[in-house]
Each structure stands twice: as C-alpha cells, then as structure tokens.
Chain A
Amino acid sequence: EAGVAQSPRYKIIEKRQSVAFWCNPISGHATLYWYQQILGQGPELLIRYENEEAVDDSQLPKDRFSAERLKGVDSTLKIQPAELGDSAVYLCASSSRGTQSYEQYFGPGTRLTVT
C-alpha cells in the first residue's frame, strides 16, 4: 500500500513570506495529523483531523498557521507570514479509525528553512 505522501520535500523562504505544505494520507485513513519537528526535538502535534473536521487544533498558532482538509482526504498546512522560528520539519501522519491499533504512519516530511 502507498504511504503518506508530502510535498514539497524542501522549501526555503524569507521571513514574512507565505508557504504551503501538502499531504495525502494513506487511502482509507480518516484521521490525519500535522506535526512540527524542530531540529533536535521530537515532533509536536499541530492539528488533528477526523475526515474533514479539525477535532484538535489547540496547539496550532492560529495567528499565522492555518490548515484545511476540504474533502476529508488530502490536506494543506499554510504559514502566513513565516517567522525565523518556524524553521522545522513539518510531518504529516495518518491512522485508521476503528481498529484501535494506535499506530500512526508518517510521511517523509517537508523541511522548511526561513531566512
């Protein structure tokens, strides 16, 4: 089965510019997550979707970050405007509902550098 797809893999922007990341989860996975991983740290959850509904966005900095998952499949995470501290790897993950397997499947990530 195909894994979680993310694009782009790398992005370099200047501060105050905007950027968007795309994620396509594993087919049939209703739950989708976005994580931010700063160098030397573990991933931190930004937002979780169940189908098209954002059920946990408590850690998303809503003044500059936004996300959408309009048809309950692929998702976009946007930063506008970017700050130097946003330099990180943005990871998308998905999991299957109903099986209670708890395992999350991660994409390769997008490495963002803000200069």
Chain B
Amino acid sequence: SQQGEEDPQALSIQEGENATMNCSYKTSINNLQWYRQNSGRGLVHLILIRSNEREKHSGRLRVTLDTSKKSSSLLITASRAADTASYFCATGGMYSGGGADGLTFGKGTHLIIQP
C-alpha cells in the first residue's frame, strides 16, 4: 500500500521557474527520501532528510520536513528541461536485521519543464 500522497499529481512550468511539490505520509518516520524517475536514468535518489531536521539543501534542491503535519516539500529552483521526470517521496528504510527496510513510496508528481 502507498504510504502517502504527492501533490500535485502533475505540474507543468516554464524553464527557469521554480517547482514545488508536496508529500504527505501517514506513520512516524525516521527519515524521508526523495527520488526522481525518468526514462533515461530510471529511479535515482535525490536527497534524504532525517526526522530531526527541518530543512536540507543539495544544489538546486531544497527539502523541508514538518513531522507535526506529517508532510514534506521538495523545491527545485531554476528548473531545466532535464528536470522533467516523476518525483517520489519515500519513507521507511529503517535499519533492521542488519540492513535497511524496504521503502514505501507515494504515487509521485509528474513534472514537465517546458522550454
């Protein structure tokens, strides 16, 4: 079953604009990850934010986490055509049995960057 929902389901913006997508989840978490999926590179890890962090940056990415609202947001600044992809938040991955649990993904936001 899906852990949560990304919002919006689809987003189309002009190149150079910022893109914001949101994720809500249902259970308590240890960390939350964002992944990107496109036809060229498959599913790729972007960034992880731990439950005791409120904001994290990586290049043009900014992630926020509000554990009281069980929500996270991903901001992509100065978007490029290559950012066209589906973006998923994922929870889980806690360590048990020596390795990390499987992830629970949302349904994703499909982002289209128009040139």
Contacts and interface: CB of A to CB of B under 8 A. Distances in A.
Contacts, number: 69
Interface residues of A, number: 28
Nearest to B104: A45
Interface residues of B, number: 26
Interface stretch (A11-19, A62-70, A79-87, A98-106): A98-106
A42 B44 CA distance: 13
B31 A102 contact: yes
A114 B8 CA distance: 30
Chain B interface, DSSP helix/strand/loop, else mixed: strand
27 contacts: A30-B98, A31-B99, A33-B102, A41-B2, A42-B90, A42-B106, A43-B43, A43-B88, A44-B1, A44-B2, A45-B103, A45-B104, A50-B97, A50-B98, A55-B96, A55-B97, A56-B101, A56-B102, A97-B98, A97-B99, A98-B98, A102-B93, A103-B48, A104-B100, A104-B103, A107-B42, A108-B42
Interface of A: 30-31, 33, 35, 40-45, 48, 50, 55-56, 91, 93, 95, 97-98, 100, 102-109
